[in-house]
Amino acid sequence: MAQQTIQPSPGAPDALPPDGRRPAGTVRPRRAPRPRTVVVTAVAWLIAAVFLLPYVQMVITALRPAGELRDATYLPTEFAWSNFIDVWRESNLGSNLRVTLLVAGGSTLLVLLVAIPAAYYTARVKYRGRKLFLLLVLVTQMFQPTSLLVGLYREFHQLDMLNSVWTLVLCNAAFNLAFAIWILTAYFSAIPVQLEEAAMIDGLGRGGALLRVTLPLALPGVVTAVIFTFIAAWNEFVMGLTLSTVPESQPLTVGINSFIGNYTVQWNYLFAASVIAIVPVVVLFAFIERHVVSGLTAGSVK
């Protein structure tokens, strides 16, 4: 009996030859999105617009001339780009930005230097009191910096360390160290110890195995600790206001507050300085966002 070949219907939009291969040069027709996909996408864009509107308003106000700050219009008649130049020249914003960069960068570096060895040892060595140590690390997260400000101020006053960048670095590192140790301990624990044992058989020591094997695998967790520590130190306000009384030694968050007076608020300069303040964090987060997402979801799927 002769074999019969079933030909696809010529009207089928996605018909394929009998061998299952699409002819070269042909484009697969696009399917119309499902109504559920359209609704979810529209809702997602609406939520994103709601969260972005305050930032759009901040940029618009930063570009609004001083004479139009009380106008009811959403957009000004002209954009005053000179507000960014004036706020940089007529205030200590440059010094405040330098102090904030030093504090955020120094605190992040100090946290990594302490948290990585502590978390690695806690994850690899089953020593007595390990659970108690992790509990104490978690308990320290319950203390608010504001509840310790009086004692911190008195201590640093006696040490003659007020208005110092190192004071803010030590305080910010101390309050962010517990989170970094906690998240890195969980991440190091998820990495098989057999990988380090294989590296040590090949001639590496414990430190070499940590640097060449474990840390590259734990990079998403390290980046997560870095970004959270950096942002927390960048946005810190209360300790900077209390421990720094000289305008030139104050961080950016405290310097921006100087545009709020007793009777008037320089809204255009206030928002212009706020735009400048968020740019470094946005750029940093844009570069390492994929590592942050993978670090936060690490261990969620076995």
List the chain pLDDT tens, one digit each, 302 residues: 455 554 555 545 455 555 556 565 565 667 777 778 888 888 999 998 898 888 888 888 888 887 777 777 778 888 888 888 888 887 888 888 899 999 999 999 999 999 999 888 888 888 787 778 778 877 777 777 778 888 888 988 888 888 889 999 999 998 888 888 888 888 888 888 888 888 888 777 877 888 888 888 888 888 888 888 998 899 888 888 888 888 888 898 888 888 887 777 888 888 888 888 888 888 877 777 666 665 555 544 44
191 plus 247 within the same structural domain: yes
164-176 burial code (b ≥16 CB/10 A, e <16): ebebbbbbbbbbb
| pLDDT for the residue numbered 99 | 92
Domain of 159, CATH number, reads 1.10.3720.10
pLDDT of residue 109: 94
Please indicate, yes or no, whether residues 286 and 239 belong to a single structural domain of this protein: yes
Q: What is the pLDDT of residue 31?
A: 74
In the numeric block, the tokens 């840390």 are attached to 215
Identify whether 214 is part of a domain. yes
Alpha helices in the chain (DSSP H): 35-62, 82-89, 93-124, 130-140, 149-158, 165-189, 193-201, 206-209, 215-217, 219-235, 238-243, 252-256, 267-296
Ramachandran bin of 163, using left for φ above 0, alpha for ψ from -120 to 50, beta for the remaining angles:
left
Distance CA 86, CA 268 (A): 10
Q: In the chain, what is the greatest distance between 2 CA atoms, to the nearest angstrom?
A: 104
Query: Domain tally for the chain?
Result: 2
DSSP 212: I
Q: Examine the domain organization and report whether 165 and 235 are in the same domain.
A: yes
Q: Is residue 150 part of a domain?
A: yes
3-state DSSP percent of the chain in helix, strand and coil, to 5: 70, 0, 30
| Whether 232 and 153 share a structural domain | yes
Residue 24 pLDDT: 57
User: 286 and 220, same structural domain?
Assistant: yes
User: Are 250 and 288 in a shared domain?
Assistant: yes
Per-residue pLDDT, 25: 56
Residue 170: predicted pLDDT: 92
Is the domain of 126 the same as that of 214? Answer: yes
In this structure, is residue 29 part of a structural domain? no
Total-model pTM: 0.75
Residues forming a β-bridge with 188: none
Answer yes or no: do 236 and 103 share one domain.
yes
Beta bridge partners of 260: 265
Residue 20: predicted pLDDT: 54
Identify which of 62, 56, 55 has the alpha carbon closest to the alpha carbon of residue 80. Answer: 62
Dist CA 264 CA 212 (whole Å) = 57
Answer yes or no: is 231 within a domain.
Answer: yes
Residue 60 and residue 139 in one domain: no
Q: Is 10 a member of any domain?
A: no
Q: Which pLDDT value is given to residue 189?
A: 86
> For residue 65, is it within any domain?
yes
Q: Alpha carbon of 274 to those of 69, 209, 261, 268: distances in Å?
A: 16, 44, 16, 10
Residues 55 and 141 in one domain: no
- Does residue 136 sit in the same domain as residue 60? no
Q: What is the pLDDT of residue 297?
A: 53
Residue range(s) defining the domain that contains residue 121: 92-296
Tell me whether residue 4 is in a domain: no
Among the three residues 53, 80, 107, which one is the final residue of a domain in this structure? 80
In single-letter form, the type of residue at position 121 comes to Y
CA distances from 185 to 33, 123, 182 (A): 44, 5, 5
Dihedral angle sign, alpha carbons of residues 131, 132, 133, 135: positive
| Nearest residue to 106 via CA among 94, 96, 98, 117 | 98
Q: Do 139 and 279 share a domain, yes or no? A: yes
Q: Is residue 220 part of a domain?
A: yes
Residue 231 buriedness (CB in 10 A; 0-12 / 13-18 / 19+):
middle
